[in-house]
Amino acid sequence: MLSGILSKESCAGCRFCCSFRRASLWEVPVFTKENTEAIRKNPKLDETVLIPLSENADYARYDLSSHYQTDDSEEEAKCPYLSETGCVLSKEEKPWDCSIWPLRVMRKEDGELVIALTPTCPAINKLEFETVRQYVNENLREELLDYALKHPLLVKEYRVDFPIIDP
Ligand code: SF4
Ligand code: SF4
């Protein structure tokens, strides 16, 4: 989604956003019904890793909690859809969380939705924050907030270390 300012080359060899420490499991992407149906139709993909959300069975996610081999808090468990060459999912199969990364739509305590930036993405951190802010406001803000309003279960709770991209 940020392809206008973030090139594929800048992600080469990183894959940071496709594996998760225990403390980051809240970031595991949520799949919509459309994503899950597209995955189910693709014989090359295993849809059995997806577990319906208790809040609404139209949405699903995978559970990595048993994938850790050690007690090391830095150990990362990788997404089941990550291959040696990157994500195996098509646009229709890929969750919104991944499509908009490193952006996040988050909900503050008072219910306000904000667009924020994941602070740990090395590529985005090389850009001026103002460049990202301008790009998001000119190209993405309306679309992101509209989609988030239609899919509230995709919205993450706000965390203070995520810089907010003001309008
Ligand atoms: S964390 Fe950032 S740099 Fe790394 S793969 Fe994801 S988007 Fe690219
Ligand atoms: S679905 Fe694809 S982009 Fe998303 S975390 Fe998994 S491998 Fe990465």
pLDDT tens column, 15-52: 788 999 999 999 999 999 999 999 999 999 999 999 99
Measured in degrees and rounded to the nearest 5, phi and psi for residue 105 equal: -100, 120
24: left (phi over 0), alpha (psi -120 to 50) or beta: alpha
- The verdict on residue 164 lying in a domain is no
- The verdict on residue 33 lying in a domain is yes
d(CA 127, CA 147): 26
Average pLDDT over residues 135-151: 96
Distance from Cα 54 to the centre of ligand 1, integer Å? 30
pLDDT of 52: 97
**pTM as predicted:** 0.92
**Using omega within 30 degrees of 0 as the cis cutoff, is the peptide bond preceding 167 cis?**
no
- The verdict on residue 108 lying in a domain is yes
Segment 5-14 long-range contacts (CB within 8 Å, at least 24 positions apart) = 5/127, 5/131, 5/132, 5/135, 6/123, 6/124, 6/127, 10/123, 10/126, 11/123, 14/122, 14/123
Average pLDDT over residues 105-128: 92
- The verdict on residue 1 lying in a domain is no
- The verdict on residue 95 lying in a domain is yes
Average pLDDT over residues 80-100: 94
Total number of domains in the chain: 1
Residues with CB under 6 A from ligand 1: 10-11, 14-17, 101-102, 121-123
Look-up: residue for tokens 């301008």? 134
Could you report the per-residue pLDDT of 144-161, keeping only the tens digit for each?
999 999 999 999 999 999
Record the tokens describing residue 157, joined without a space: 């709770």
- The verdict on residue 167 lying in a domain is no
pLDDT of 166: 92
Distance from Cα 110 to the centre of ligand 1, integer Å? 30
pLDDT of 126: 86
Average pLDDT over residues 109-118: 96
- The verdict on residue 162 lying in a domain is no
Looking at all shown ligands, the one closest to residue 78's CA atom is: 2
pLDDT at 14 over 80: no
DSSP annotation of 91 reads: T
CA neighbor of 135 nearest in space, from 159, 100, 162 = 100
Measured in degrees and rounded to the nearest 5, phi and psi for residue 106 equal: -125, 155
pLDDT of 2: 74
Distance from Cα 39 to the centre of ligand 2, integer Å? 13
pLDDT at 134 over 90: yes
> In this structure, is the dihedral angle defined by the CA atoms of residues 65, 69, 73 and 78, taken in order, positive or negative?
negative
pLDDT of 15: 77
Domain that holds residue 98: 8-157
- The verdict on residue 13 lying in a domain is yes
β-strands 82-83, 50-52 pairing: unpaired
